[in-house]
Amino acid sequence: MVSKTGSTSGVVCFGAPQGNHRPLPSQYGYQTGYTSATVADHFDLGILGGGSGGYVAAIRAAQLGMSVVLVESDKVGGVCLHRGCIPTKVLLQTAFLVDALAGAHRFGLDVQQNGLDYGVTQVRKAAVVSQLHRGIEFLLKKNKVTFVAGRGRLGGEKQLLVETGGGQSEYQVGSVILATGSRPRSLPGLPMDGKRVITSDEALEMAKVPDSAIVLGAGAVGVEFASLWRSLGAEVTLVEMAPSLVPLEDADIGAELAKRFMARGITCHTSAKLDSGSVQLSDHGVQVSITGELSAEVLLCAIGRSANVEELGLEAHGIRTERGMVLVDSRMETSAKGIYAVGDMVGGFQLAHKAMHEGVIAAEAIAGLSPYPLEGRHVPRTTYCSPQIGSLGLSEQEAIDQGYTVSCGVMPFRANGRALIWGEPDGFCKVVADSSNDEVLGVHMIGHEVTELIAGPALGALLEASPFELVHAVAPHPTLSEVLGEAALAVSGKAIHI
């Protein structure tokens, strides 16, 4: 247990200072109802940023008896809740229903579509985000978190400085967690006007679906928006510099996604490079030069995200960074004793669920506990395009490159009863294993609702399940979950249903 350093309770969470500052929550009409902190309060812990990693760390720290105050320049919940995971998936759910209705005749249903009211879709998106936002506010209040709206940075030793609407406040803290997240990255020279050339932030707020779009980058964000807009009627061209779509995934996943996307009418250019200087804007859209001239109503830049590490005072505290990311150990502690970092700013997979787990690890480490370290191979990755992607651990090529004796098993969904009942026969489950010691190295899936299915392999990885154990874990029938055991059997050539 961390001892109290003062009489006021609360963990301090500070929003990331950025070049393009967002309005303070008060400017959104955002009322928290939290207890307000005052100048010269002392706290056990200061957390810079109230996103997925920050607010979870704040709650866990409060549960462990630490004094808690939350300072955030935007709304608590961060990018994931307000400009990422949640709003994107709300829109993708509408896209899924549009596709399902278009194929309803296969099930004997005569469904008349009267068109899409995208305004209603946007209202529903806002409602889902608002409900979850209120839930986080309630949890922070329940755990007696004190909230301060402002932008924070590291001051002197065990000191945090916060710029608020009323000036600058100082807080003395025992420890610090940095959780300032990330922002969309752009190409140098790309004319980002927020209307014709946009990031995912602007894409989520569009009043209508574009008639046509060029999506630059075929990672998770790029393929999700390409899938969304195509389902809702747009002409979509996807441009990726790497040799395959979703280049961080297993090569077989990328090949299958390209096949399905092209069948849906999405034009895919891989091993392609865009010259940012060739981008020309007009009143009607954007024109670029890649493999010839391409034009569209909008160009979405989805080439990754940059960590928010500027203007935090890292250098003054000797906090080491590498390639724009803060370096941490297994306890999430930086090179400066007593200062921790979590989430997108520490590199690895930039995923909300990873940030949440890291927030818990950091809070428990500060409390003197021995938290279970998070290994990258235990973090599932999910992409919500159509078809969905769920993966865990090493790809086949990564396993080969690392010197493993690799054996793979693949179970196609068209041999699975539940997939056929759904009318979704495309896709597969692939298990990558080390044949020398019966170790599962990776699991890779593409198909209908596999983002739900990947949680099983994630638990298996944590428990160090072998292919034998994956086979003998009884799956109910008929369910898609049966494909995991069959793919594990296929590793040794003993699959029953293929």
Task: For the chain, give the number of residues.
Answer: 498
Pairing of strands 388-393, 197-198: unpaired
Measure the CA–CA gap between 258 and 367, rounded to whole angstroms.
47
Helix (H, G, I), strand (E, B) or coil at 408: strand
Q: State the catalytic residue, choosing from 133, 357, 477, 497.
A: 477
13 contact partners, CB below 8 Å, separation of at least 6: 46, 47, 48, 49, 50, 54, 55, 57, 58, 69, 70, 71, 72, 76, 179
How many C-beta atoms lie closer than 10 Å to residue 254's C-beta?
Answer: 24
b or e along 357-372 (b: 16 or more beta carbons within 10 Å of the residue's beta carbon)? Answer: bbbbbbbbbbbeeebe
Measure the CA–CA gap between 494 and 490, rounded to whole angstroms.
5
Give the closest residue to 106 by CA, choosing from 423, 447, 420. 423
Pair of tokens at residue 442: 């990776």
Helix (H, G, I), strand (E, B) or coil at 411: strand
Helix (H, G, I), strand (E, B) or coil at 438: coil
477 is catalytic: yes
* Contact present, 134 and 121 (Cβ < 8 Å): no
Q: Which residues are catalytic?
A: 477
